[in-house]
């Protein structure tokens, strides 16, 4: 269970919300309303105030790197610090990675490609694979299917559903009402930096 209360980061405020393992919470709101800032604060990637607790452990009681390994974010645009795609994955590639790449409709040899060869959608799916190849307690996904076509979107949604079923808590930013209906157990709306409950998902 991820529990959040009195979270404040710049102009963004979230009084109280939670997401349990096996649940998905969706966030929506106009561009610039503060959704990404909220996600970054949850992952301790932005200075903020308030209480964030995961399964009884307070965020400030563990090192930042450990918190981010448990509450992991896939941003709308991921960074690439090496020219070869595979350099962005753990030194010892997990056994599940080949199946994960297949599930994301990526070629078997994609890890050997230069990043410059990857399309926007391929880079986005690789960033997702980089996070999903390790078990995470909370997945924080900022518009995970925005640059994808229908087939790739369905593949990503299937993986998100599988992680929910395996007990992960999921927080997703999406502007697609149909996607929210498919994935989310409940939804919230960000308006001018304030988070409020949305229509039932």
Rounded mean pLDDT, 121-132: 94
Question: What was the pLDDT predicted at 199?
Answer: 54
Q: Which pLDDT belongs to residue 154? A: 97
By the 8 A CB rule, do 94 and 130 touch? no
Instruction: Domain 2-197: give its CATH architecture.
Output: 3-Layer(aba) Sandwich (3.40)
Report how far apart the first and last C-alpha atoms of the chain are (Å, whole number).
19
Comparing CA positions, the residue from 20, 33, 3, 65 lying closest to residue 164 is: 20
| pLDDT of 92 strictly over 70 | no
Domain extent listing, the chain: 2-197
pLDDT above 70 covers what percent of the chain? 98
């Amino acid at each position: 269970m991820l529990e959040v209360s009195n979270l404040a980061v710049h102009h963004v405020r979230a009084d109280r919300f939670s997401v349990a393992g096996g649940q998905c919470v969706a966030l929506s709101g106009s561009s610039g309303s503060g959704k990404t800032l909220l996600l970054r604060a949850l992952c301790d990637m932005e200075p903020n105030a308030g209480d964030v607790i995961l399964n009884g452990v307070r965020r400030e009681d563990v090192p930042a790197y450990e918190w981010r390994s448990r509450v992991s974010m896939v941003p709308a645009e991921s960074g690439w610090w090496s020219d070869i795609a595979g350099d962005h994955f753990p030194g010892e590639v997990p056994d599940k990675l080949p199946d994960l790449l297949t599930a994301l409709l990526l070629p078997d040899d994609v890890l050997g490609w230069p990043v410059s060869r990857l399309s926007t959608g391929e880079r986005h799916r690789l960033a997702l694979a980089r996070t999903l190849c390790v078990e995470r307690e909370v997945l924080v996904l900022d518009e995970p299917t925005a640059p994808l076509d229908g087939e790739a979107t369905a593949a990503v949604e299937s993986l998100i559903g599988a992680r929910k079923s395996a007990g992960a808590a999921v927080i997703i930013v999406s502007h697609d009402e149909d996607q929210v209906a498919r994935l989310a157990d409940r939804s919230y709306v960000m308006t001018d930096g304030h988070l409020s409950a949305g229509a039932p998902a």
